[in-house]
Amino acid sequence: MTLKEKYKDYFKIGAAVNTRTIESHKDIILREFNSITCENEMKYISVAPDGVNYDFTNADKIYAFAQENGLDMRLHTFLWHNQVPKEIFDNEREVFLKNFKAHIEKVSARYGSGVYACDVANEVIEDTSDGFFRESPWLSTMGDEFCDIAFKYAKEALPGVTLVYNDYNECHPEKSQKIYRLVKELKERDIPVDCLGMQGHWNISKPTIDEVKRAFELYAKLGVKLHVTELDISVYSDMEPSDLTAPTTEMLKAQTEVYKQIFAIFREYKEILESVTLWGVADDATWLSYFRKLNRKNWPLLFDENHQPKDAYYAVMDF
């Protein structure tokens, strides 16, 4: 039994991939997962580095891999403050909007028929208690209705695709209320948002299992689908550098327990939870080992550096 078989009647099981891992981790991807997300290759700056000239080489490679192997795909992402060419904001509002709409149309025309979901807007909510929207050139160029506009453009370009609002720190008691409010208000204005994406960049002690449960309870009230879009469980609970070259037994034990408990919660929400995507395939290729120049290795996924299933894998398979 593999992950995708075990979870067949629950939700899609996905992994973020890149042009290297579709080769180096091909066996695991094809055996265990039925959905993929491009880790970077479909982001604005990846397909249009200067905002004008398009190069789809890398995204095309991953899309072809999905098509050839019958994998579903999530499209990530249109409106995000990172990995976006700065030049697009040099234009005045009307020209900017025309270009942004054309960008959505171009990417959607190329990949729309092979994707079931799209992270239309990513991380627009402010983390701290003051302020609702994060300050960004998107907000200053487009105004408060920036999300409305992005979802409307995406709806036209991607009919039938699940349109997602995606964010992190989504289980934080205060931020979750703001995320809830954003999606609720979008819906009240008839903006076509279909789904809330919970990134799931968590660690062995935060969020607590109780916070995860409360976030699911809250978001379930929205009446939209839910996705877990970027799941990984860091083996550290702090942000300190570390020279560990392998995870300790205690770290792996704690991580296994977290994976076990969160997947139990995920299963409870199978009626509205459409997919769970891990942000990577195996521990030898994880962004967390390069995060914020922290200079430490991390082992956040279900497969180890030798591509073998970890205890955490067996824990999520055991029900």
Q: Shortest Cβ distance from residue 236 to ligand GLA (Å)? A: 16
From residue 12 to residue 51, the character string flagging contacts with ligand GLA as x (rule: CB under 6 A) and all else as - is ----------------------------------------
Considering only residues 60-99, where is the footprint of ligand GLA by CB under 6 A?
Answer: 76
Please identify which of the residues 39, 41, 230, 274 carries the catalytic annotation: 230
Q: Shortest Cβ distance from residue 122 to ligand GLA (Å)? A: 5
Which residue type, as a one-letter code, is found at position 32?
Answer: E
Q: In the complex with ligand GLA, which residue's Cβ is closer, 302 or 315?
A: 302
Q: Shortest Cβ distance from residue 145 to ligand GLA (Å)? A: 22
Inter-CA distances, 35 with 153, 167, 277, Å: 24, 19, 8
Q: Shortest Cβ distance from residue 317 to ligand GLA (Å)? A: 26
Considering only residues 180-199, where is the footprint of ligand GLA by CB under 6 A?
Answer: 199
Q: Does 168 bind ligand GLA (CB under 6 A)?
A: yes
68 catalytic, yes or no? no
Q: In the complex with ligand GLA, which residue's Cβ is closer, 74 or 225?
A: 74
Q: Shortest Cβ distance from residue 27 to ligand GLA (Å)? A: 24
Please identify which of the residues 32, 123, 170, 274 carries the catalytic annotation: 123
188 catalytic, yes or no? no
Q: Per DSSP, what are the bridge partners of residue 72?
A: 35
Inter-CA distances, 234 with 38, 188, 282, 304, 314, Å: 21, 36, 13, 13, 18
Considering only residues 284-303, where is the footprint of ligand GLA by CB under 6 A?
Answer: 287
Q: Shortest Cβ distance from residue 16 to ligand GLA (Å)? A: 8
**Which of 122, 136, 255, 298 contacts ligand GLA by CB under 6 A?**
122
C-alpha–C-alpha distance, residues 167 and 3, integer Å? 25
Long-range contacts of 105-109 (CB under 8 A, 24+ apart): 105/153, 105/156, 105/157, 106/54, 107/42, 107/47, 107/75, 107/78, 108/75, 108/154, 108/157, 108/158, 109/157
Long-range contacts of 185-193 (CB under 8 A, 24+ apart): 186/147, 186/148, 186/151, 187/222, 187/223, 187/224, 189/148, 191/147, 191/148, 191/151, 191/152, 192/151, 192/152, 192/154, 192/155, 192/163, 193/120, 193/151, 193/163, 193/164, 193/165, 193/224
CA angle 295–301–306, rounded 5-degree value: 85
Q: In the complex with ligand GLA, which residue's Cβ is closer, 166 or 256?
A: 166
C-alpha–C-alpha distance, residues 30 and 84, integer Å? 31
From residue 234 to residue 273, the character string flagging contacts with ligand GLA as x (rule: CB under 6 A) and all else as - is ----------------------------------------
**Which of 230, 232, 283, 284 contacts ligand GLA by CB under 6 A?**
230
- Is residue 257 classed exposed, middle or buried when 0-12, 13-18 and 19+ CB atoms within 10 A define those classes? middle
- In angstroms, how far is CA 91 from the centroid of its own chain? 29
Q: In the complex with ligand GLA, which residue's Cβ is closer, 230 or 274?
A: 230
Q: In the complex with ligand GLA, which residue's Cβ is closer, 85 or 309?
A: 85
Residues in the interface with ligand GLA (CB under 6 A) total: 6
Q: Which residues in this chain contact ligand GLA in the complex, by CB under 6 A?
A: 76, 122, 168, 199, 230, 287
Report, as residue numbers or ranges, the catalytic residues: 123, 230
